[in-house]
Chain A
Amino acid sequence: MLEALQSQFGEAIISAEQVGRELRLRVSANRIQDIARCCKEKGFAYPADITATDTGTELHVVYRLMRLETDEQIVISVPVSRTGGRLPSLCGVFAGAEWPEREVYDLFGVRFDGHPDLRRILLTDDWEGHPLLKTSRT
């Protein structure tokens, strides 16, 4: 799987590591849609999770795709700007991306281009800021 992705996307795959049954990839933002679509075509058709994590200096959106028949997983981590970051939406690839992307927008402030309905989801519409960023007070 890794070889196939590397030959097709080359430079866009920044790093790759196999940890148990997880293939962990770091991928550049501009190719994420194509890479996700390719994974889906190769059987990783189950969008297990989309979330983000902020280290205080770096923000990553993390996608977890899974093959249903086995426990193989691809975990794709995409670096994105901590202020006003933007990513292409995966709603056109996975129907199940819609709500988790809204959640990442709500809690981390990442905007997903091409999302059909990017609104806050857990917090109220008039909430200010994005509480899961480390700059937000605990």
Chain B
Amino acid sequence: MTQSLTPTEHVTLNMGPQHPSTHGVLRLELQLEGEVIIGCRPIIGYLHRGIEKIAEARTYPQVVPYTDRLDYLSSASNNMAYVQAVEKLLGVEAPERAKFLRVVLLELNRIASHLVFIATFANDLAATTVFLYGIRERELIMDLFEMWAGARLTQSWIRIGGVGQDIPDGFVERAREFCRMLPGRLDEYDRLLTGNRIFRARTEGVGILPREMGIDYGASGPTLRGSGVSFDIRRVEPYEAYPALDFEVAVQPACDCMARYLVRMKEMRESVRIIEQCLRQLPAGEVMAKVPRAIRPPAGEAYGRVESPRGDFGCYVVSDGSAQPARVHFRAPSFIHLGALPRMLQGWKIGDVVAILGSIDIVLGEVDR
């Protein structure tokens, strides 16, 4: 008896660039065999503004606001990496008070960014309530930024030599109030989400990034720490006030989406501890070092790197001795993680894409630059 076989065809599915779960303009060209992903080509560049080229035609201080627009959920980290490289070239060090204030700003940015992660990750997995809660708490941080820097998102507040201005009256009290409030709210998320059966089914054992593969790709931040690697720039190459501060590096061994989520949850609690320590130990004094009006660093190169909410954020600056940088390059962790995504998606089902993509928490602003 002859049997008629239905031929199997692979289907190509375009996810994005206007898909709500791609968190910006990203297109994933998925190759499917039934529901199973057998290939993925991320198409990026929709948000490319040529920031690295623009920087070559700007003076050193003029580059700072451009860096805000890379990882726009954590503009202070970008400022910091660039400013760190320029300060190395100049041989300038920020005053002690500025170092602590920078850490306050960086850690508030980290919490704000992780809150957006929790919010959107939960929302992608159909837990809409958590989205509203995450954004609610983040709003309080935005208010703190507005109070201090005048801007809520793109603060440009870490400047060459220090920070824009000292904190205004009442800031410390409001920041402390926020630090007292947040842990209770995180407990609430834990109750809503961490033990939730649906959430766990969607994240546990899903999107495995083995430890060795993570290192081989150059993964970092919560993405690598969720694969059991205790790698944190704040610890390995401490900058600003971090050597004086006590905090734990969050690590999870499971290598899955859940592990990456748990790392970020723990990190927010640690950030609260860091901010409280900074406010307690805040030294008196200036917030801006003496920096020449016309900044012309001697010819040479320097590399600034910070632990951004997404991972190892680097900035490579080459000076030719003129008032404009000869080359500025940003090493964006989201770009690196997106490069590893095709391997992470291999063999998972189409429904898992939003969970796996969400778990690496990309920001297309820094991917496309």
Residues of A within 8 A of B (CB): 21-22, 45-49, 51, 53-55, 62, 64, 68-71, 75, 94-96, 98-100, 103, 107, 120-124, 131-132, 136, 138
Contact = CB atoms under 8 A, between A and B. Distances in A.
Interface string B273-316: 00000000000000000000000000001010100000010101
A48 B220 CA distance: 9
A54 B318 CA distance: 10
Contact of A55 (B320, B343, B368): B320
B142 interface: no
Contact of A53 (B57, B318, B336, B340): B318
Contacts of A53: 301, 316, 318, 326-327, 329
Nearest to B316: A51
B213 A95 contact: yes
B40 to A, nearest CB: 12
Contacts of B340: 95-96
Given A95-B340, A123-B48, A132-B53, A62 B316 contact: yes
Contact of B45 (A47, A48, A68, A121): A121
A18 to B, nearest CB: 14
Given A45-B216, A64-B314, 4 more contacts: A49-B331, A55-B320, A120-B45, A123-B48
A53 B52 CA distance: 11
B326 A55 contact: yes
A93 B329 CA distance: 23
A79 B314 CA distance: 22
Nearest to A120: B45
Among all A-B residue pairs, the 9 with the closest Cβ atoms: A99-B339, A96-B218, A96-B217, A71-B237, A53-B327, A49-B331, A122-B45, A95-B216, A51-B329
Interface in B335-369: 335-336, 338-340, 343, 368-369
Interface residues of B, number: 38
Nearest to A77: B301
B236 A70 contact: yes
Given A51-B331, A121-B45, A94 B316 contact: no
A61 to B, nearest CB: 12
B231 A68 contact: yes
Given A22-B303, A95-B216, A48 B326 contact: no
B218 A98 contact: no
Contacts, number: 90
B48 A122 contact: yes
A55 B56 CA distance: 12
Interface centre among B56, B329, B340 (most CB of A within 10 A): B329
Given A55-B326, A122-B45, A123-B48, A48 B237 contact: no
B354 to A, nearest CB: 22
A48 B314 contact: yes
Contact of A95 (B44, B217, B312, B335): B217
28 contacts: A22-B303, A47-B217, A48-B218, A49-B303, A49-B314, A49-B329, A51-B329, A53-B301, A53-B326, A54-B327, A64-B303, A64-B316, A68-B215, A71-B237, A94-B216, A94-B217, A95-B217, A95-B343, A96-B218, A96-B339, A96-B340, A99-B336, A120-B45, A121-B45, A122-B45, A122-B368, A123-B45, A131-B50
B119 interface: no
A96 B44 contact: no
A75 B333 CA distance: 19
